[in-house]
Amino acid sequence: MKIDLHSHTYYSDGVLSPTELVHRAISQKVEVLAITDHDTVLGLAEAKLAIADEQLPLQLIAGVEISTSWHEFEIHIVGLGIDADDELFQRRLASQQQRRIERAKEMARRLTKHQVPDCFEQVQALAHGGAITRTHFARHLVNIGKANSLSGVFKHYLARGKAGYVPNNWIALAEAVQWIHEAGGIAILAHPLKYKLNGKWLTRLMREFSEAGGDAAEVASPQQTPVQKREIWRLCQQFGLVASVGSDFHQPTDWNELGRGLYMTDDIVPVWQTYPDLLDEPAAHEEMLG
């Protein structure tokens, strides 16, 4: 039984349409999938429709991944089981999208000083009317031959401190937790080890996330060693959080696939055990724990 609670469509920086994503989930034998695009829920309706139309054996969880500012870091909070039609929630996400548009314009402006012709409109066109992300800039810069790979663009242009980096202006961590809760969802700290925090800051992040009302943290992500899973789970236990699992799938690569590498040992309490309403048939998923 495969459960994957973190994935992207082309409504943010994934490459697959929602329909292609759910087809891929089926081919990878994923039975529960959360779509968690950056600051948008635009992909959910199409995914739901494809599953219903084709009667696919896949349970879709309505999700989102909200960007927040915490000290000088950008921290991502995943919301699961949200009501995507909630009007207040949609207005709140729209405000994040507006910040994304303004940031993208400023990024394009700064890049013009580094031999990149004004690219806001081309980058916007890559985003399918959804979230404009740094990944779209990276794809554009690869397209026009400024770098060979996305990671190369991040390294030379888009990482913190580089020419195209615009200091973030996202909502606060606690605000994202509140938005998710008020939309009926549970709040999960995404990929805790991706922020490259030292031990002291990671502990502080887990503590403050918990104090803000956060519910869980991603314990299982691909490429994470058993030792790293134990480290995050230990912090979860210290601060009263349960464990989530997610591939953070954006596109098929040698190192990332839907539903892959998300194994957890049976002493770890998964989020669907504490919040059984997340799943249609919680009992059917117990073997995932084994």
Q: Note the residues at the interface with ligand AMP (CB under 6 A).
A: 13, 38, 67, 133-135, 150-151, 154, 250
Q: Cβ closer to ligand AMP: 166 or 289?
A: 166
Say whether residue 39 binds Mn ion (CB under 5 A): no
13 binds Mn ion (CB under 5 A): yes
67 vs 244, beta carbon nearer ligand AMP:
67
Partner interacting with residue 154 (select from Mn ion, ligand AMP, none; CB below 5-8 Å by kind): ligand AMP
Whether the CB-CB separation of 11 and 37 falls below 8 Å is answered with yes
CB 18 within 8 A of CB 11: yes
Report in angstroms how near the CB of residue 16 gets to Mn ion at its nearest.
13
Q: Which residue is nearest to ligand AMP (CB)?
A: 133
Q: Report how far residue 219's alpha carbon sits from residue 268's, in angstroms, rounded to the nearest whole number.
A: 9
Tell me whether residue 134 or residue 229 sits nearer to ligand AMP (CB atom). 134
Q: Which does 244 bind (CB under 5 to 8 A by kind): ligand AMP, Mn ion, none?
A: none
Q: In the complex, which residue's CB is closest to Mn ion?
A: 76
Site for Mn ion (CB under 5 A): which residue of 18, 137, 248, 262? Answer: 248
Using alpha carbons, select from 255, 188, 206 the residue that is nearest to residue 34.
188
Does residue 139 belong to the site contacting Mn ion (CB under 5 A)?
no
| DSSP characters over 217-266 | EEEE-TT--HHHHHHHHHHHHHTT-EEEE---BSS-BTTB-TT-S----T
| Cβ atoms 217, 235 nearer than 8 A | yes
Q: In whole angstroms, how close is the CB of 90 to ligand AMP at the nearest point?
A: 19
At its nearest, how many Å lie between ligand AMP and the CB of residue 134? 4
d(CA 44, CA 46): 6
CB 42 within 8 A of CB 15: no
Q: What residues between 178 and 197 interact with Mn ion by CB under 5 A?
A: 190
Give residues 62-81 in contact with Mn ion (rule: CB under 5 A).
65, 76
Residues 227-233: contacts with CB within 8 Å, 24+ apart?
A: 228/193, 229/264, 229/265, 229/268, 232/192, 232/193, 233/268
Q: Indicate whether 136 belongs to the interface with Mn ion (CB under 5 A).
A: no
Supply the minimum distance, in Å, between the C-beta of residue 244 and ligand AMP. 17
Cβ nearer to Mn ion, comparing 175 with 273: 175
